[in-house]
C-alpha cells in the first residue's frame, strides 16, 4: 500500500522527529526573508518567493535522495531567472510571472528527462575551480546589482561595470533614509555573522548559539518593518517597501510555453537546470558524506525536476538546493526530508495569515539580506590554493569569474563549461605513455626514463596507461610514429595494453590503419597483456584477424618471440 512512498518515510522512526522539527523551524526562519529577497532578485512579486518555498520542498522530499538538502529559491538561480527574462517582459508584470513559471517548467522537464536518461554523471562536467569561479563572480554581480535597492536609486544596466557606473552616476540622488536603513541592516547582518554566535555562546550551547545567529535576517526584517510602519517612512521619506502581499495559497496554474517562448527559454532553462543540479548535487553530496549517507545523481535530477515542476504549477520560479540553508538544515539536526515538509507547512501558515506583516518591509533590507547571504560565497581561497597547486585550474577560476562579471551570468557559465570541456579534451588527448625496457635479469619491463633497463635493437615496447578511444588515439599514434622515426631500424613494435580496458570504434579504426601502414613499412605490430574483455571484442574484427599470432600474454613473451 505504501510502496510508492520514499524509503525514509516508510521507515520513519519517532526518534528522528525532534531533529527534523527543530531544523524545519530554523530553516523556515531563514526562508521567509530569503524567499522574499530572492523573489526581488529574480524580478518577481514577493509572494512568488513564498510560493516557491512550499510545494517544491514537498516534491523534493518525495523524489529526491538527499536527507538534508534544503530546496527553494537560491541567489544564483534567481539571478539567472532575471537574466533569462530580461527584455521578454517587464519585471513583476503578469507576463513576466508567467514566463518565470514556464522557465521553471522547462527546467523541471529537462531535469526529469536527464534523470530518466541517467545523465547524472554530467555532474562531473564542471571542475571545482570553475564552479567556485562562477559562484564567486555571480555573488559579486548580485551584490553590485543590489546596491541600487540598498541606496534607493534607480540604476538599470547590464554587466557588472555598467551597473556599477549607473549606481555611481545615480549616487547624488540617493534616498538618505533608505540608504541609512539599508546600510544599518547590512552592518547588522555582517556583524551578526561575525560575532553573534560567540555572543550567544555565553548563554547558550555552542550549537544553539550557532543556529540562533542564523535568525539575524529574520530579526532584521521584523525590526525594519516595525520601524518603517511606526514612522510611516514609506510615505514620509520615500522608502521603497515590499507593499501589499496577497494573502492565501496560490491558485494552481499550468504555465505551458507557446512555440515562441519555448524558443526563447529553452537555452536559459538548460543552463538553469545544469547550474542548479551541479550546485545542489555538490552541496548534497558533501553533506551526505559527513554522515556516511549516499545521494544518487540520477535521483537528484528527478527530485530537483519534481521541485521545479511543483514551483511552476504553484506560481513560483526556478528553484534548487541552496548552500547556506542546507548547511543550516544539516547543522540544526535534520534527519530526513520531513524537515523540508515542516518548513513547507510553516511557509503555508505564513502565506495564509501573515503576509500583511511584510507590507512595510523595506526593499533595502531585503537587498542587505541578499548581499549578506552571497558575500561569503566569494571564494578567493579556492583560486589561491589552485594557483599554488595547478595553474590551469587557477586560470579557469579567473576566466569563469571574469566572464560572469564582464559578460553576464549566462556567458560566464558557458565559458566555464567550455573551459571544463576543453581541459577534459586536453587531458584525454595527452595520454600517458611510457617506452619500456627490461629490468636486467628479470621478466619485468619498466619506463626507460625512470629505471635502468635494457632495450633490444629493432624493437620498441611502449605502454599506454589509458583506455584507447577517440579522444586519445591520435596522440597515441603520433607518439608511436615519433618513436619509429627516432629508431630507424625498428622491425617490431610491441604495444603493452595492461591499462587498456576498452578500445572504441575510432581507436579500432586508427589502429587497423596503423597496423597496415607499419606492415607495409616492414614493421610488425604486436600486442601484449591485452585484457580478456578487450580481446573478446578485438578477435572478430579485421585487426584481430591481422594480428593473429601476434597477441602475447606478457610483454616478456612478446619480446622473446622477436628474439627467437
Binding site for its own copies (CB under 8 A): 119, 121-129, 285-286, 289-290, 292, 294, 382, 385-386, 388-390, 392-394, 420-422, 424-430, 432, 450, 465-467, 469-472, 474-475, 477-478, 481, 485, 499, 501-502, 504-506, 508-510, 513-514, 517, 521, 532, 537, 540-541
Pick the closer one to its own copies by CB: 207 or 531. Answer: 531
Of 151, 141, 143, nearest in space to 171 by CA: 151
Pick the closer one to its own copies by CB: 405 or 507. Answer: 507
Closest separation in Å from C-beta 540 to its own copies: 8
Instruction: Provide Rg for the chain, Cα atoms.
Output: 30
Please provide residue 290's backbone torsions phi and psi, each rounded to the nearest 5 degrees.
-65, -25
- What's the rounded Cα separation, in Å, for the pair 394 and 383? 5
- What's the rounded Cα separation, in Å, for the pair 186 and 192? 10
Pick the closer one to its own copies by CB: 11 or 465. Answer: 465
Closest separation in Å from C-beta 497 to its own copies: 12
Please provide residue 495's backbone torsions phi and psi, each rounded to the nearest 5 degrees.
-100, 115
Pick the closer one to its own copies by CB: 95 or 474. Answer: 474
**How far is residue 107 from each of residues 104, 277, 344, measured CA to CA in Å?**
5, 10, 21
Pick the closer one to its own copies by CB: 9 or 392. Answer: 392
Pick the closer one to its own copies by CB: 290 or 548. Answer: 290
- What's the rounded Cα separation, in Å, for the pair 374 and 136? 9
Pick the closer one to its own copies by CB: 244 or 291. Answer: 291
Please provide residue 72's backbone torsions phi and psi, each rounded to the nearest 5 degrees.
160, -165
Helix (H, G, I), strand (E, B) or coil at 461: strand
- What's the rounded Cα separation, in Å, for the pair 430 and 314? 50
Pick the closer one to its own copies by CB: 95 or 539. Answer: 539
Closest separation in Å from C-beta 352 to its own copies: 42
The answer to whether residues 86 and 265 touch, using CB atoms and an 8 Å cutoff, is no
12 Cβ contact partners less than 8 Å away, ≥ 6 residues apart: 336, 338
Closest separation in Å from C-beta 492 to its own copies: 17
- What's the rounded Cα separation, in Å, for the pair 339 and 28? 10
Of 530, 535, 529, nearest in space to 444 by CA: 529
Pick the closer one to its own copies by CB: 47 or 515. Answer: 515
The answer to whether residues 233 and 227 touch, using CB atoms and an 8 Å cutoff, is yes
Question: Would you state the cell numbers that stand for residue 340, as one nine-digit string?
Answer: 523540508
Pick the closer one to its own copies by CB: 27 or 274. Answer: 274
In residues, how long is the chain? 564
Closest separation in Å from C-beta 504 to its own copies: 6
- What's the rounded Cα separation, in Å, for the pair 319 and 76? 10
Pick the closer one to its own copies by CB: 155 or 468. Answer: 468
Pick the closer one to its own copies by CB: 14 or 290. Answer: 290
Pick the closer one to its own copies by CB: 198 or 501. Answer: 501
Query: What single DSSP character describes residue 13?
Result: -
Helix (H, G, I), strand (E, B) or coil at 491: coil
Closest separation in Å from C-beta 165 to its own copies: 21
Closest separation in Å from C-beta 311 to its own copies: 27
Pick the closer one to its own copies by CB: 207 or 294. Answer: 294
Of 415, 454, 421, 410, nearest in space to 436 by CA: 454
Element of type H or E holding 524? strand 524-528
- What's the rounded Cα separation, in Å, for the pair 81 and 271? 10
Pick the closer one to its own copies by CB: 479 or 550. Answer: 479
Question: Would you state the cell numbers that stand for residue 332, as one nine-digit string?
Answer: 540544526
- What's the rounded Cα separation, in Å, for the pair 96 and 83? 12
**CB neighbour class for 291 (10 Å; exposed up to 12, middle 13-18, buried from 19):** exposed
Closest separation in Å from C-beta 116 to its own copies: 15
Q: Where are the alpha helices (DSSP H) in 42-93?
A: 46-51, 55-63, 75-85
SS percent in the chain: helix, strand, coil, step 5: 65, 5, 30
Helix (H, G, I), strand (E, B) or coil at 559: helix
Closest separation in Å from C-beta 301 to its own copies: 15
Closest separation in Å from C-beta 536 to its own copies: 11
Closest separation in Å from C-beta 450 to its own copies: 8
Of 274, 337, 242, nearest in space to 32 by CA: 242
Q: Where are the alpha helices (DSSP H) in 171-258?
A: 176-191, 197-200, 206-213, 216-231, 233-236
Amino acid at each position: 500500500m505504501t510502496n510508492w512512498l520514499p524509503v525514509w518515510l516508510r521507515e520513519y522512526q519517532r526518534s528522528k522527529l525532534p531533529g527534523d522539527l527543530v531544523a524545519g523551524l530554523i530553516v523556515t526562519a531563514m526562508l521567509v526573508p530569503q524567499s522574499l529577497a530572492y523573489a526581488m532578485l529574480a524580478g518577481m512579486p514577493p509572494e512568488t518567493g513564498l510560493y516557491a518555498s512550499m510545494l517544491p520542498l514537498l516534491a523534493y522530499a518525495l523524489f529526491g535522495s538527499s536527507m538534508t538538502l534544503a530546496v527553494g529559491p537560491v541567489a544564483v538561480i534567481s539571478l539567472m531567472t532575471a537574466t533569462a527574462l530580461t527584455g521578454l517582459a517587464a519585471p513583476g508584470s503578469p507576463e513576466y510571472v508567467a514566463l518565470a513559471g514556464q522557465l521553471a517548467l522547462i527546467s523541471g522537464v529537462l531535469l526529469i528527462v536527464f534523470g530518466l536518461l541517467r545523465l547524472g554523471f554530467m555532474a562531473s562536467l564542471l571542475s571545482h575551480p570553475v564552479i567556485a569561479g562562477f559562484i564567486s563572480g555571480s555573488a559579486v554581480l548580485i551584490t553590485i546589482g543590489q546596491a541600487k535597492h540598498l541606496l534607493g536609486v534607480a540604476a538599470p544596466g547590464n554587466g557588472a561595470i555598467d551597473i556599477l557606473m549607473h549606481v555611481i552616476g545615480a549616487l547624488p540622488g540617493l534616498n538618505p533614509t533608505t540608504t541609512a536603513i539599508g546600510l544599518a541592516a547590512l552592518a547588522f547582518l555582517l556583524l551578526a555573522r561575525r560575532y553573534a554566535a560567540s555572543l550567544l555562546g555565553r548563554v547558550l550551547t555552542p550549537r544553539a548559539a550557532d543556529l540562533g545567529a542564523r535568525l539575524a535576517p529574520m530579526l532584521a526584517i521584523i525590526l525594519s518593518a516595525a520601524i518603517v510602519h511606526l514612522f510611516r517612512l514609506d510615505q514620509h521619506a520615500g522608502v521603497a517597501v515590499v507593499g501589499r502581499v496577497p494573502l492565501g495559497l496560490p491558485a494552481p496554474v499550468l504555465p505551458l510555453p507557446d512555440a515562441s517562448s519555448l524558443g526563447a527559454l529553452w537555452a536559459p532553462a538548460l543552463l538553469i537546470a545544469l547550474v542548479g543540479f551541479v550546485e545542489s548535487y555538490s552541496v548534497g553530496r558533501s553533506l551526505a558524506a559527513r554522515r556516511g549517507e549516499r545521494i544518487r545523481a540520477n535521483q537528484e535530477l528527478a527530485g530537483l525536476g519534481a521541485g521545479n515542476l511543483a514551483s511552476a504549477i504553484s506560481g513560483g520560479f526556478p528553484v534548487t538546493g541552496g548552500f547556506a540553508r542546507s548547511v543550516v538544515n544539516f547543522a540544526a539536526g535534520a534527519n530526513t526530508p520531513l524537515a523540508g515538509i515542516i518548513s513547507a507547512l510553516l511557509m503555508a501558515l505564513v502565506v495564509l495569515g501573515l503576509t500583511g506583516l511584510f507590507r512595510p518591509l523595506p526593499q533595502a533590507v531585503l537587498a542587505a539580506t541578499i548581499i549578506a547571504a552571497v558575500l561569503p560565497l566569494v571564494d578567493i581561497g579556492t583560486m589561491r590554493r589552485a594557483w599554488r597547486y595547478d595553474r590551469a585550474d587557477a586560470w579557469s577560476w579567473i576566466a569563469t569569474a571574469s566572464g560572469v562579471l564582464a559578460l553576464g551570468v549566462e556567458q560566464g557559465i558557458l565559458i566555464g563549461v567550455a573551459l571544463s570541456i576543453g581541459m577534459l579534451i586536453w587531458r584525454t588527448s595527452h595520454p600517458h605513455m611510457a617506452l619500456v625496457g627490461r629490468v636486467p635479469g628479470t621478466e619485468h619491463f619498466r619506463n626507460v626514463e625512470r629505471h635502468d633497463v635494457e632495450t633490444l635493437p629493432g624493437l620498441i615496447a611502449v605502454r599506454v596507461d589509458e583506455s584507447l578511444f577517440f579522444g586519445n588515439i591520435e596522440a597515441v599514434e603520433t607518439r608511436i610514429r615519433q618513436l619509429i622515426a627516432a629508431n630507424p631500424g625498428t622491425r617490431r613494435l610491441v604495444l603493452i595494453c595492461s591499462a587498456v580496458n576498452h578500445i572504441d570504434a575510432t581507436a579500432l579504426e586508427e589502429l587497423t590503419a596503423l597496423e597496415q601502414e607499419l606492415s607495409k613499412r616492414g614493421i610488425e605490430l604486436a600486442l601484449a597483456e591485452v585484457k580478456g574483455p578487450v580481446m573478446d571484442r578485438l578477435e572478430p574484427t579485421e585487426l584481430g584477424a591481422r594480428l593473429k599470432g601476434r597477441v602475447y600474454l606478457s610483454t616478456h613473451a612478446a619480446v622473446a618471440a622477436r628474439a627467437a
